[in-house]
Structure 1
Amino acid sequence: MITPYVKRLVKGDDLRNSLLELVKVNSIQAGSLLTGVGCLSHANIRLANEKNTLNITGPLEIIMLSGTLTPQHIHVHISVADREGNVYGGHLMPGCIVSYTTELCMVAFNNMIFSRDYDPQTGFEELVISDKTN
């Protein structure tokens, strides 16, 4: 029970905001971003230390884009390469702006519900997986 979704973003679209809008418009309760390819004029990436962000001006190629999708939150990782081939990666943040185009492929798991609850062990809102049939 999987439904595929494919979307092409255009110049000026904010990648993260567009993903969240797609989840909401399509009422995706549990989803996965399988892949994304394209170009960015600017990237805003939260680094692994959870505090600092990296702001990079393009041109940038999206090398990897994947994550989990819930109606309230998307947890997406991104890697981009600059014109010299240097690669940067981390959490996708608002402010990643499409320069020409970006192609997104995602799926919804229709028999599941994804949500997020605070986990005192990690200090973050973590994925909770529920079976829709229960």
Structure 2
Amino acid sequence: MRYLPIRLHPNQDLRLALEALLAQEQVRAAFVVSGIGSLSTAMIRFAGMSDPTPLHGDFELLTLAGSLSPDGAHLHMTISDAQGQVTGGHAAPGCIIRTTAEILLALLPDHGFTREPDAASGCKELVIRPA
């Protein structure tokens, strides 16, 4: 395992930047260990919903966690607004960095992640294989 600290900059798409970084590092499996920062737009898919909800404003990114594979990211986050109200869910594309995002990735070069249909859940789920 190799750790990779990164900083994302204003106007970057959080999820797309992490997916691109995985490809750039030529790794097929990674986990987001920690993530903090701020967002100007949050695209959050709440539990049981099929589409993300766009939220606009000044948000603190309190937590970010998930897995990264060449098939895409599975990320969850919590954010707080200017009144300190906290919400969270699945981080969809379109989460835009406001000032910064400081993220620690754990790159797993000995593994390969894919997302494949799962009969039990009806969704594409993580499949873990040796590299």
- Partner SS state of residue 22, structure 1: helix
Equivalent in the alignment of 1:50: 49
- Give the counterpart letter for 1:37 in structure 2: I
Preserved contact between residue 12 and residue 99 of structure 1 (Cα < 8 Å): yes
Preserved contact between residue 68 and residue 76 of structure 1 (Cα < 8 Å): yes
| CA distance in 1 between partners of 2:8 and 2:109 (Å) | 24
| CA distance in 2 between partners of 1:131 and 1:106 (Å) | 19
Tell me the TM-score normalised to structure 2 length: 0.95
- After TM superposition, the runs of 4+ consecutive aligned structure 1 residues lying more than 3 A away are none
- Give the counterpart letter for 1:22 in structure 2: L
- Partner SS state of residue 77, structure 2: strand
Equivalent in the alignment of 1:108: 107
How far is 1:7 from its partner?
Answer: 1.2
Pairing of 1:76-115 with structure 2 (within 5 A):
76-115=75-114
Tell me the TM-score normalised to structure 1 length: 0.93
Asked if residue 21 in structure 1 is aligned to residue 40 in structure 2, the reply is no
Preserved contact between residue 27 and residue 71 of structure 1 (Cα < 8 Å): no
How far is 1:53 from its partner?
Answer: 2.2
- Partner SS state of residue 69, structure 1: strand
How far is 1:50 from its partner?
Answer: 3.1
- Over the aligned positions, Cα root-mean-square deviation in angstroms equals 1.0
Q: How many residues align?
A: 131
| Deviations 1:47-92, CA, capped at 9 Å, x for gaps | 1113142221120000110001111211000110001111111111
Structure 2 gap segments, 5+ residues each: none
- Give the counterpart letter for 2:65 in structure 1: S
